[in-house]
Structure 1
Amino acid sequence: MVTSMTSFDILEETYQLSQAILSSDVFYHYKECKNKLQQDKEAQSLIRRFNQLKEDYEEVQRFGKYHPNFHDTSKKVREQKRELDLYPIIAEYKKAETELERLFNEISSIIASNVSPHIKVPTGNPYFDQMSCSGGCGSGGSCGCK
């Protein structure tokens, strides 16, 4: 295996970047929220109930609105999802997860734009997707690209 000094330097910089992420406040908050979520018995119970309902819903979906329990199951899934989303520890975890994802998206966009302005980074976030758009998106320029 032939390794140039540049490859080694890139790997070293990558390691340093990953260590910076692991020691960031955003990552620390995410890990703290994840630990709270894993230790909270009520949150785990809500998640298990939601997963069971989701399995039931997937079974009902095979037949669609013609299944006798379609409306009841759909309603139960929506209600359980809302209860899950409103539970404070789960909501805090999801917020922390979104913040960590935002950090990763920002880092990816910075790296890609430093390599070439033509690299598109699909982040799932319209703000960053527009930032990395450099034309040819087919929207007629409505995204702000040139």
Structure 2
Amino acid sequence: MLATLERIELLENAEDLAKMVLKSDIAEQYQICLYKMHTNKETQRKINRFASLKELYEEVQRFGKYHPDYKRVMMQIREAKREMDLDPLVADFKLAENDLQTLLDEISKFIGGAVSEHIKVPSGNPFFETGHSCGTGGSCGCS
């Protein structure tokens, strides 16, 4: 039997956990910041300018420093990125995004640790790194 009661219960618990995450203050703050960022015309202008310059940047990257517009495009893309990143709504969104990612990383680590301490949990957060360089969890003795 493919769908055992245990599997169904696990799926229901996973759905409940997902609902709790979606109803959390962190996810709510993320949604608010995302909405503000998408509805502000000036912020969207900065994002769109960066996106259009990014396409030009990718074209220039094919030829590298030998492209005739290399210096101009590199300068413009840096300026546009800085302008976009310094926008308060973009900055607030990135902070909210990092907070939500941290919550999801913590949940993943908790679930993985409940199964085994040797479970690898994908995370970009160095807080969750074990200090082992080979990825075996230290079983090889390389730590």
TM-score by length of 2: 0.91
Deviations 1:7-30 (A, max 9, x none): 111011111101110110000000
TM superposition outliers: structure 1 runs of 4+ over 4 Å = none
Residue 125 of structure 2 corresponds to which residue in structure 1? 125
Query: CA RMSD of the aligned region, Å?
Result: 1.9
For 2:59 and 2:10, how far apart are their aligned partners in 1?
A: 48
By how many angstroms is 1:129 displaced? 2.5
Give the aligned residue type for 1:123.
Answer: S
1:41 Cα deviation (Å)? 0.4
Q: Residue 112 of structure 1 contacts residue 121 of structure 1 at CA under 8 Å; is this kept in 2?
A: yes
For 2:59 and 2:20, locate their aligned partners in 1 and report how far apart those are by CA, in whole Å. Answer: 44
> Do 1:21 and 1:27's aligned partners in 2 also have CA atoms closer than 8 Å?
yes
| Deviation, structure 1 residue 136 | 5.5
Cα deviations across residues 46-105 of structure 1 (Å, max 9, x unaligned)?
111000100000000000011111111111111110110000011001110111011111
Q: 1:137 to 1:70 in 2, by over 3 A?
A: farther
Secondary structure, counterpart of 1:10 in structure 2: helix
How many residue pairs are counted as aligned between the two chains?
140
Unaligned runs of 5+ in 1: 142-146
Report 1 or 2 for greater relative contact order, CA contacts < 8 Å, sequence distance ≥ 6: 2
Shift of 1:135: 1.3
| 1:38 and 2:54 are equivalent in the alignment | no
Q: Distance in 1 between matches of 2:38 and 2:140?
A: 42
State the identity as a percent.
Answer: 45
Q: Distance between the aligned counterparts of 2:97 and 2:31, measured in 1?
A: 9
Q: Are 2:102 and 1:102 equivalent residues in the alignment?
A: yes
